[in-house]
Amino acid sequence: MNIPVTVLDYGIGNQLNVLRALEHCGASVKVVQKASREDADAQRLVLPGVGAFGDGMAQLRARGLDELVQRFAQTGRPFLGICVGMQVMFDASEEMGEHRGLGLLPGRVRAVPAVGADGSPHRIPHIGWRALEEEASWEGTVLADVRPLERVYFVHSFAAEPAQESVRLAQVCYDGVPICAAVHQDNLYGCQFHPERSADTGLGVLRRFLRL
């Protein structure tokens, strides 16, 4: 395979691991750090991210990448947001103040609860391997090759809360607290987990994205 994929580098992502994983899965990767008209013609677009929502949005705007993503989302071609890249797909975040997102999906990003369902404190950030639970049919999506309860890797303190339940593709349970793990609407996909760090299961997600 030699499938073209454009990856946005806006200064807060874990691009190297994402690039390597995509290339391992058969992608020909182009890295973009500043918006140009031709990049809106990308065949597939990936927005990784590690860090704070507000910092990420500030960098996207400074580089003109926010408008590029919004234009691309309307083309119908496959888009994948990873970790903070998924969070900024939503309307807003409460992380360190109020921050406006890309508005591709309705909903907000809020802190992962500091206690489990039984009220006992647990670790924040939420770090580790969790079993994916099916919230909507995975057939035909980036999770099509994943079996329910396969484990994937998370590192985050905030999580998206979609306003529409139909957007939720998968969740995980952290000490009884449900966390939105993946979303889907039309050509738009988001993974709160890191597919590039989730072994064969994660590589399967990326391979499926390349085949959309």
Q: Which residues are catalytic?
A: 83, 194, 196
Can you say whether residue 97 is alpha, beta or left, with left for phi > 0 and alpha for psi between -120 and 50 degrees? left
β-pairing, 45-47 vs 79-82, is: parallel
For residues 196 and 208, give the distance between their C-alpha atoms in angstroms, rounded to a whole number: 13
